[in-house]
């Protein structure tokens, strides 16, 4: 296996072989902690995507498509074991490529990857149809068949975890996958592809084609032999994918942006609420679709919450993501860092007050201070637009009606949090909040057994749990005439 810390060119993985891009082109992936070149990666274009799709189609029509479901599940379990035994290397690769602290990867990302594989391995032979007694003169039933070749386009904020959210259920259902990792975090996906081959998953079942969205990603969307596109990323790209997929009626699942509201009432446990609000916006440097970037606080406790939140932000340990004690690493890229700094300037100009943070840290790597804005009005851009960085906007509210108005007053509806000891209020708010997930007296946990997704500009469709089985299978009706 290629040493991932070298600057050698990392080739595409197509049909079980590592190959150079047809164009011969490659691109650099950088270490966000230093800004230095980490590796060179082959740059897939439409021709490479076509080769990957043809390989995946052949695997679907061949050994993989004729394999027993239980045997597919056993291979997924073997892959989970290989990931566990290679977890140190995967953790290091993911940290170097994305800037994520190793402590966070060990605590969340890798366990979630293994849990996802184990869960869907167990589900592979339990994907059932139904006998439906439609007529007395016929045996009528349904079976669920693999949807086909899946194009999976994965973001850079959780490359390993979100990648596996797509790979594991698709393979459990008997589909094949052409995976395009984000161009700024491609390395862990290539290693997963190699481990899949080592686990015994046949060549072509999982092809990995690093490249740029406007070329490789668009080629996946446009390819007539791709049956399904599953995408996690920005609303802008989601709109483009939806428009492109309409050309040949591809199935599409989209998990897009968020501007989630975390609502704190005066009867809540303030210590727990502030601690969770801090992790809800500063975890993974705020580069989380469901980050609690809007912290709505009742005006009677507003100043206290702001003071405590600012103290937590100022006390965070920021630094080398390879050090186990680091709480927050760098932003993933220079472009994303500049976008965050631009939004901080926008917040200042709009009249919001920076209580702590607001600056770049040093000039090596892409570090931004965890930032807390107070005096934020609901109409401000920092309240309405997704920043995708460690920037908290604290917004006061007067009463429940005001809180609902503010919480539901954006284009995004991915997640929300409510902090209260009033159980009737908690039930009332879970009904009234527009969000795919509502956390009560906690913020941020997810589980592969529970459906995940949003509405409005946060996308449509659901991943995880049994919902993912619907994403990657299609029902077929069988009608057998019994003659009586």
- Which residues are catalytically annotated? 255, 289
Positive or negative torsion for Cα 386, 390, 396, 397: positive
DSSP state of 214: I
**Direct distance between the N- and C-terminal alpha carbons of the chain, in angstroms, rounded to an integer:** 63
User: Are the beta carbons of 150 and 450 closer than 8 angstroms?
Assistant: no
User: Are the beta carbons of 155 and 162 closer than 8 angstroms?
Assistant: yes
CA-to-CA distance for 383 and 406, rounded, in angstroms?
9
DSSP structure string for 262-302:
EEE-TTS-HHHHHHHHHHHHHGGGG--TT---EEEEETTTH
CA-to-CA distance for 455 and 468, rounded, in angstroms?
17
CA-to-CA distance for 196 and 177, rounded, in angstroms?
12
Contacts of 107 (CB under 8 A, 6+ apart): none
CA-to-CA distance for 229 and 225, rounded, in angstroms?
11
Q: What are the residue ranges of helices labelled H in 124-181?
A: 159-172
Angstrom CA distances, 350 to 132, 268, 374, 382, 396, stand at: 61, 30, 12, 9, 16
């Amino acid at each position: 296996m290629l040493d991932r810390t070298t600057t050698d060119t990392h080739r595409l993985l197509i049909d079980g072989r590592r190959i150079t891009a047809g164009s011969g082109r490659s691109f650099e992936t950088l270490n966000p902690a230093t800004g230095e070149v980490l590796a060179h990666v082959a740059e897939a274009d439409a021709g490479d995507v076509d080769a990957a799709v043809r390989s995946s189609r052949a695997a679907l029509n061949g050994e993989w498509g004729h394999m027993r479901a239980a045997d597919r599940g056993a291979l997924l379990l073997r892959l989970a074991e290989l990931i566990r035994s290679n977890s140190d290397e995967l953790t290091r690769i993911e940290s170097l490529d994305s800037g994520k602290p190793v402590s966070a990867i060990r605590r969340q990302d890798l366990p979630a990857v293994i849990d996802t594989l184990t869960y869907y391995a167990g589900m592979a032979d339990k994907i059932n149809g139904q006998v439906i007694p439609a007529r007395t003169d016929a045996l009528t039933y349904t079976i669920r068949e693999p949807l086909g070749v899946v194009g999976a386009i994965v973001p850079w904020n959780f490359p390993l975890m979100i990648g596996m959210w797509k790979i594991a259920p698709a393979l459990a259902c008997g589909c094949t996958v052409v995976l395009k990792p984000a161009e700024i975090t491609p390395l862990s996906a290539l290693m997963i592809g190699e481990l899949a081959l080592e686990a015994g998953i046949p060549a072509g079942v999982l092809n990995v084609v690093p490249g740029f969205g406007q070329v490789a990603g668009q080629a996946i969307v446009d390819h007539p032999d791709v049956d399904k596109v599953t995408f996690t990323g920005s609303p802008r790209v989601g709109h483009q994918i939806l428009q492109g997929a309409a050309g040949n009626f591809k199935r599409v699942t989209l998990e897009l942006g968020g501007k989630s509201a975390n609502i704190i009432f005066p009867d809540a446990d303030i210590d727990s609420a502030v601690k969770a609000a801090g992790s809800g916006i500063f975890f993974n440097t705020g580069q989380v679709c469901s980050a609690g970037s809007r912290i709505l606080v009742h005006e009677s406790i507003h100043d206290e919450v702001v003071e405590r939140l600012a103290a937590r932000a100022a006390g965070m340990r920021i630094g080398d993501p390879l050090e186990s004690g680091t709480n927050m690493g760098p932003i993933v890229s220079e472009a994303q860092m500049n976008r965050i700094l631009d939004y901080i300037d926008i917040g200042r100009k709009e009249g919001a007050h920076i209580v702590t943070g607001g600056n770049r840290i040093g000039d090596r790597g892409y570090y931004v201070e965890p930032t807390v804005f107070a005096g934020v009005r609901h109409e401000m851009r920092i309240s309405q637009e997704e920043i995708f960085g460690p920037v908290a906007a604290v917004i006061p509210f007067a009463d429940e009606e005001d809180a609902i108005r503010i919480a539901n007053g954006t284009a995004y509806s991915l997640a929300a949090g409510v902090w209260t000891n009033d159980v009737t209020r908690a039930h009332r708010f879970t009904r009234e909040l527009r969000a795919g997930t509502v956390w009560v007296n906690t913020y941020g946990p997810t589980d592969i057994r529970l459906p995940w997704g949003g509405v409005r500009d946060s996308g449509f469709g659901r991943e995880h749990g049994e919902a993912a089985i619907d994403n990657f299978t299609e029902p077929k009706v069988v009608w057998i005439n019994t003659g009586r």
